[in-house]
Amino acid sequence: MLIEIPKEILFDENLIANFTELGYSHFVVPARDNIEAYSSFGKGYNIDGKKEQIFHIHMCPKDNLMWKQIDFLNSNLERAKQYEDLKLELANKFKNDRGSYVLGKTDFVNETLDIISGKSSAQESI
């Protein structure tokens, strides 16, 4: 789930504390390329690798590139289906390995962001 949040409260300690009370862990997703850092909350992970039902909440301001990615996928059903297929494949392959799951999506997400920003693979190799 992606929630729009004003920059002023993006990393607000009270907001984080409220989610912590609900059983969520807070993570700062670091800035990368054209995406500013944002907040993410996760619930359902266990240290022993067994997982319960897992929930993710990402929070960022509307000007964060994450919103453009969502808008792009909502308007490009073929690309969205490719992303869905990849996520399902990775979820099956890395059931209890969140890090590998996220890394497995990295190239696809970066390619999508390049499409959005107008870059092409040919431009990057020049």
Q: What pLDDT, on a 0 to 100 scale, did the predictor assign at position 33?
A: 74
Q: Which of 105, 109, 19 is nearest to 58 (CA)?
A: 19
Considering the chain, what percentage of its residues have pLDDT values greater than 70? 87
Structure confidence by residue, pLDDT tens digits, 19-59: 999 999 999 989 887 789 999 998 887 656 666 677 889 99
Q: What pLDDT, on a 0 to 100 scale, did the predictor assign at position 122?
A: 38
* Cα–Cα distance, 59 to 11 (Å, whole number): 9
Q: Which of 11-15, 27-31, 49-53, 83-87 has the lowest mean pLDDT?
A: 49-53
Residue 66 pLDDT level (bands cut at 50, 70, 90): confident
Domain contains 44: yes
Q: Which two tokens stand for residue 124?
A: 């990057």
Q: Which of the two residues, 113 and 98, has the higher pLDDT score? A: 113
- Looking at the structure, tell me whether residues 38 and 70 fall in a common domain: no
- Looking at the structure, tell me whether residues 50 and 80 fall in a common domain: no
- Looking at the structure, tell me whether residues 13 and 37 fall in a common domain: yes
Determine how many CB atoms are found less than 10 A away from the CB of residue 72.
Answer: 15
Q: What pLDDT, on a 0 to 100 scale, did the predictor assign at position 102?
A: 86
Q: What pLDDT, on a 0 to 100 scale, did the predictor assign at position 70?
A: 92
Residue 5 pLDDT level (bands cut at 50, 70, 90): very high
- Looking at the structure, tell me whether residues 52 and 99 fall in a common domain: no
Domain end marker among 33, 61, 89 = 61
Structural domain span for residue 106: 64-118
pLDDT, the chain, mean: 86
Q: Which of 67, 75, 70 is nearest to 5 (CA)?
A: 67
Query: Which residues are CB-neighbours of 108 under 8 A, at least 6 positions away?
Result: 82, 83, 86
